[in-house]
């Protein structure tokens, strides 16, 4: 993307924890000048001192972009300090989980272009995926700008309705934890079959990482890849008969888990 507008007017990053920090590192690696970035964080990490960005300095009165990356529980304290940036010229991009566009419109005004985004934790290693949607005041060009900024930490997808954000939260936002638990469970099962703990964990971790990479890079669908590795009456089929059981296996457990996460997201958004 072109950073010309941001270079001229600046970008304010409100909150620079793990996710905000990952985005900042991506922007700087993609040649956004550090002098154009203003980090506002009550407890800035030490590594920020060597980046050249402004840390808790006076922010521009009319920055090109304000990125809200604070935790939802800190929103009440943080937003009043930047509410004056509302009014239509500054693009507000939020990655705060569970905080609706209408909440930001209450703070900044409905005429303010606001884009809500949901990244996930693999963004910390540049392998995230972020879903985004804008309010009625955001333009196509502003969506492009937000998408380009968020692409610094992985892939992006656009939603057609903010209502879809709860399902996104349940699938990709919370999803990494499901995979981490799968790794834990596979490793524990390997131990139960007699493997040393460290070997079982290495096998489980590398297998999940490799299978994910293969699924992403292959022209075959995950369904076809599963079929390819399942020999009739073999070991994989024996396992899948358990794991694919409609009432006790993955289909039921994962569906109920994702539904629980989506329902909780809806509750938090009220």
pLDDT digits (tens, 9 = 90+) for 192-250: 999 999 999 999 999 999 999 999 999 999 999 999 999 999 999 999 999 999 999 99
pLDDT of residue 31: 87
pLDDT of residue 268: 80
The pLDDT > 90 percentage for the chain reads 82
Residue 82 in tokens:
């930047």
Shared-domain flag, residues 51 and 137: yes
* The model's pTM: 0.89
Q: How confident is the model at residue 2 (pLDDT cuts 50, 70, 90)?
A: low
CATH classification at residue 241: 1.10.3730.10
Shared-domain flag, residues 142 and 222: no
Shared-domain flag, residues 142 and 207: no
Q: Which helix H or strand E contains 4, and what residues bound it?
A: helix 4-9
pLDDT of residue 77: 86
pLDDT of residue 146: 94
Q: Which helix H or strand E contains 252, and what residues bound it?
A: helix 250-268
Shared-domain flag, residues 58 and 97: yes
Does residue 167 lie within any of the structural domains?
no
pLDDT of residue 124: 86
Mean pLDDT across the stretch 41-62? 94
State yes or no: pLDDT of 267 exceeds 70. Answer: yes
Does residue 96 lie within any of the structural domains?
yes
Shared-domain flag, residues 136 and 51: yes
Shared-domain flag, residues 131 and 31: yes
Helices (H), 88-174: 101-108, 140-150, 165-168
Shared-domain flag, residues 36 and 146: yes
Residue 101 in tokens:
């566009």
Number of independent structural domains in the chain? 2
Q: How confident is the model at residue 269 (pLDDT cuts 50, 70, 90)?
A: confident
Does residue 129 lie within any of the structural domains?
yes
Does residue 169 lie within any of the structural domains?
no
Shared-domain flag, residues 32 and 144: yes
pLDDT of residue 98: 81
Shared-domain flag, residues 152 and 33: yes
Domain span at residue 150 reads 4-162
* Edge-to-edge strands, sheet with 37-40: 54-55, 37-40, 11-14, 65-68, 91-94, 114-118, 128-134, 154-158
CATH classification at residue 136: 3.40.50.720
Does residue 168 lie within any of the structural domains?
no
3-state DSSP percent of the chain in helix, strand and coil, to 5: 55, 15, 30
Shared-domain flag, residues 189 and 98: no
Shared-domain flag, residues 181 and 157: no
233 backbone φψ class: left, alpha, beta (φ>0; ψ -120 to 50):
left
Are the beta carbons of 134 and 146 closer than 8 angstroms?
yes
pLDDT digits (tens, 9 = 90+) for 112-139: 999 999 999 899 888 999 999 999 999 9
Separation of alpha carbons 92 and 67, rounded Å:
6
pLDDT of residue 5: 84
């Amino acid at each position: 993307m072109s950073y010309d507008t941001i270079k001229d007017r600046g970008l304010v990053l409100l909150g620079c924890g793990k996710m905000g920090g990952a985005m900042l590192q991506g922007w700087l690696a993609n040649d956004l000048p550090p002098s154009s970035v203003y980090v506002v964080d009550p407890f800035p990490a030490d590594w920020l001192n060597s980046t050249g960005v402004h840390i808790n300095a006076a922010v521009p009165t009319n920055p090109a972009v304000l990125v809200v990356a604070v935790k939802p529980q800190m929103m009440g304290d943080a937003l009043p300090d930047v509410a004056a940036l509302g009014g239509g010229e500054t693009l507000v991009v939020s990655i705060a989980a569970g905080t609706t566009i209408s909440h930001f419109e209450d703070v900044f005004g409905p005429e303010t272009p606001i884009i809500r985004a949901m990244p996930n934790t693999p963004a910390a290693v540049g392998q995230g995926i972020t879903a985004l949607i804008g309010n009625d005041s955001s333009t196509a060009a502003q969506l492009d700008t937000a998408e380009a900024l968020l692409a610094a930490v992985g892939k992006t997808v656009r939603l057609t309705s903010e209502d879809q954000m709860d399902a996104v939260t349940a699938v990709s936002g919370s999803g990494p934890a499901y995979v981490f638990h799968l790794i834990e469970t596979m490793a524990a099962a390997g131990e139960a079959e007699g493997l040393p703990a460290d070997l079982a964990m290495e096998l489980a971790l590398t297998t999940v990482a490799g299978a994910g990479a293969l699924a992403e890079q292959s022209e075959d669908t995950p369904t076809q890849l599963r079929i390819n590795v399942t020999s009739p009456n073999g070991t994989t089929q024996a396992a899948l008969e358990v794991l694919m059981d409609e009432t006790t296996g993955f289909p039921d457990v994962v569906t109920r888990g994702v539904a629980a996460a989506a329902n909780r997201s809806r509750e938090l958004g009220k």
